[in-house]
Amino acid sequence: MYRYDEFDHAFVNERVAQFRGQVDRRLSGEISEDQFKPLRLMNGVYLQLHAYMLRIAIPYGTLNPPQLRMLAFIARKYDRGYGHFTTRQNLQFNWPALKDIPDILGHLASVEMHAIQTSGNCIRNVTADHFAGAAADEVVDPRPYAEILRQWSSLHPEFIFLPRKFKIAVTGSERDRAATQVHDIGLHAKRDAEGRLGFAYYVGGGLGRTPMIGHLINEFVPVEDLLSYTEAVLRVYNLFGRRDNKYKARIKILVHETGAAEIKRQVEEEWARIRDGALVLPQDEIHRIEAYFAPPALAAKPAASVKLNAARKVDPQLDAWVAQNTVAHKTPGYTIVTISLKPIGGTPGDATAEQMDLIADLAERYSHGEIRVSHEQNLILPHVALDDLPALHQALAAANLATANAGLVTDIIACPGLDYCALANARSIPIAQRISERFADPVRQRDVGELKIKISGCINACGHHHVGHIGILGVEKKGEEFYQLTLGGSGDETASVGEIIGPGFGYDEVVDAVETLVDTYLKVRSGPEENFLAAYRRLGQAPFKEALYGAA
């Protein structure tokens, strides 16, 4: 993975010192809360429902073991022994004291981490496919280009005060695991007929209160033009994006109101002006960054593991876990392991300090020192030998980390909701827990098959409910929690925004409603190979509506 150079170290350390000074001045009264708030937000510090919250960037979701151990150390020393992995591949601590945050940032800097641009109206942490560099179906590892974008966007003086926040996601596979089409910019790295590297360039996607699917404005932006093209997009947005209304300030609204064709024209007019300037990416610089992400040297192995296959025959739990939580690696004899942070009845995305330490150890032992955070709030070990799966499974199971539910109905995305978040209108976590408990039976889960349930506790949609096969949105109605259901959303390469199925449900009713939807799907599907989303797309709302609300 990328390692900081001298410039990066100096830059992050200076920033820690600067924020230490800002906190000191806040505590001593030299600056007011109004003056301090934008400064703390630029360093990832929120004031939430119960306490401060610190959001730490995990660029493109890639972590090494010393970094994960540092997060565990911070959780123990400065927080309450756990952290929360988010849908943006970040980590949040829920209980840090303001006076301690400069020290926390100092510790993070020592392992090449920070919280810069994890909040505020700037370019946020660049996210990527969590299977990057490992997936069998990958054409291009997207992380070097995510890193180039990270370097370009970090404290970019022109883009520190955008109309609103700005999120970029990059994938390098046909299968879009990074939800690129629901980002402000979504990039799909690919090669053209001549083998040259470039990006399909999507603009204007997003979730929140006005969900939109991104528009493809350029089929192929060559890699050397990545920064000039992106700068042109940001310039058009910075100039014309609305600043009069926070709720209409994202680029998706600009693209929607202006039209994708006109946005493309404006972008490419600006691009023509700057394309041959200072932002052209030199080939040697591209290769220098790519080298940081060179795949680990994996010893050649047979495609099938006799040891694993024998162990699977006698251990049904191992067998189920391997079937569900591993996917094909580009190197024969290896696999990609999803460590589920969704134990039945647990808080999606939470991990204790002990679990983080254990996963760091296991990554060193079994995954060439690599860990990934998925936007689905799980952790990934990307390079595991098939032979090592039985031992890895045993170690994970002892720490309640071996739930065999990746991609199933209990692998639920949920935002922190009203249990933690100052913006939320309703709770998300207990809904996720109760759905998870309802569908705890592993046989039933496997029968239901792939089903993405995503829960947000308010319209800001951090829980990505718009792109859930079943989306759940919590609202407040007459002082009570109330939940709207949407069906048919998807964040993959066939991205779609879910449609509201009908009147919402109370806190005590919503789990039954979800179960009704699932049972209906089981009745109407053409066969086990037709998943929930496919069945919904084929049949539409009618059978689900009737099951929930009775015949019209």
Partner 1 sequence: MFKAAKEGPAKVITANDLRDGLVVFLDHDGGWTHDIALARVVEDGPDLDQANAYAKAQHDARIVVEPYPIDVEVKSGVPVPVRYRERIRAEKGPTIVYGYDEVAKLQQAGGVKRATGT
Residues that bind partner 1 (CB under 8 A): 26-29, 32-33, 47-52, 80-82, 94-99, 343-347, 350, 352, 354-355, 400, 418-420, 424-425, 427, 429-430, 433, 476, 479-481
User: Alpha-carbon distance 485 to 200, whole Å?
Assistant: 32
H/E stretch holding 8: helix 6-28
In DSSP notation, 80-134 reads SSEEEE-TTS-EEES---GGGHHHHHHHHHHTT---TTSSSSSB---EE-TTTTT
Q: 135: which strand partners?
A: 329
Q: Which C-beta is closer to partner 1: that of 26 or that of 383? A: 26
Tell me how far, at minimum, the Cβ of 548 lies from partner 1, in Å.
Answer: 25
Taking a C-beta distance cutoff of 8 angstroms, is the pair 71, 65 a contact?
no
Taking a C-beta distance cutoff of 8 angstroms, is the pair 474, 426 a contact?
yes
Q: Which C-beta is closer to partner 1: that of 171 or that of 433? A: 433
Tell me how far, at minimum, the Cβ of 483 lies from partner 1, in Å.
Answer: 14
Cα dihedral 47, 50, 56, 62, rounded to 10, equals -150
What are residue 187's phi and psi, to 5 degrees?
Answer: -120, 135
Q: Which C-beta is closer to partner 1: that of 479 or that of 550? A: 479
Tell me how far, at minimum, the Cβ of 220 lies from partner 1, in Å.
Answer: 47
Tell me how far, at minimum, the Cβ of 489 lies from partner 1, in Å.
Answer: 25
Taking a C-beta distance cutoff of 8 angstroms, is the pair 401, 392 a contact?
no
Tell me how far, at minimum, the Cβ of 352 lies from partner 1, in Å.
Answer: 6
- Three-class DSSP labels, 132-145: CCCECCECCCCHHH
Q: Which C-beta is closer to partner 1: that of 8 or that of 315? A: 315
Tell me how far, at minimum, the Cβ of 515 lies from partner 1, in Å.
Answer: 19
Beta strands 45-47 and 52-56 are antiparallel
User: Alpha-carbon distance 315 to 335, whole Å?
Assistant: 19
Cα dihedral 202, 204, 206, 208, rounded to 10, equals 180
Q: Which C-beta is closer to partner 1: that of 99 or that of 209? A: 99
Q: Which C-beta is closer to partner 1: that of 355 or that of 374? A: 355
Beta strands 379-385 and 413-414 are unpaired
User: Alpha-carbon distance 69 to 412, whole Å?
Assistant: 26
Sign of the dihedral defined by the CA atoms of residues 109, 133, 207, 248, in that order: positive
User: Alpha-carbon distance 99 to 97, whole Å?
Assistant: 5
Q: Which C-beta is closer to partner 1: that of 425 or that of 484? A: 425
Q: Which C-beta is closer to partner 1: that of 80 or that of 265? A: 80
Tell me how far, at minimum, the Cβ of 131 lies from partner 1, in Å.
Answer: 27
Q: Which C-beta is closer to partner 1: that of 32 or that of 245? A: 32
State both tokens at 128: 């990527």
User: Alpha-carbon distance 64 to 54, whole Å?
Assistant: 20
Cβ burial of 246 (10 Å; 0-12, 13-18, 19+) is: exposed
What are residue 92's phi and psi, to 5 degrees?
Answer: -120, 135
Tell me how far, at minimum, the Cβ of 248 lies from partner 1, in Å.
Answer: 26
Q: Which C-beta is closer to partner 1: that of 418 or that of 548? A: 418
Q: Which C-beta is closer to partner 1: that of 79 or that of 376? A: 79
Q: Which C-beta is closer to partner 1: that of 383 or that of 427? A: 427
Q: Which C-beta is closer to partner 1: that of 101 or that of 236? A: 101
Tell me how far, at minimum, the Cβ of 132 lies from partner 1, in Å.
Answer: 30
Note the residue count of the chain. 552
Tell me how far, at minimum, the Cβ of 71 lies from partner 1, in Å.
Answer: 14
User: Alpha-carbon distance 519 to 392, whole Å?
Assistant: 34
Residue with tokens 């349930």: 453
Residue with tokens 């799907």: 521
User: Alpha-carbon distance 109 to 87, whole Å?
Assistant: 23
Q: Which SS3 state, helix, strand or coil, does residue 174 take? A: coil
Tell me how far, at minimum, the Cβ of 446 lies from partner 1, in Å.
Answer: 17
Tell me how far, at minimum, the Cβ of 257 lies from partner 1, in Å.
Answer: 34
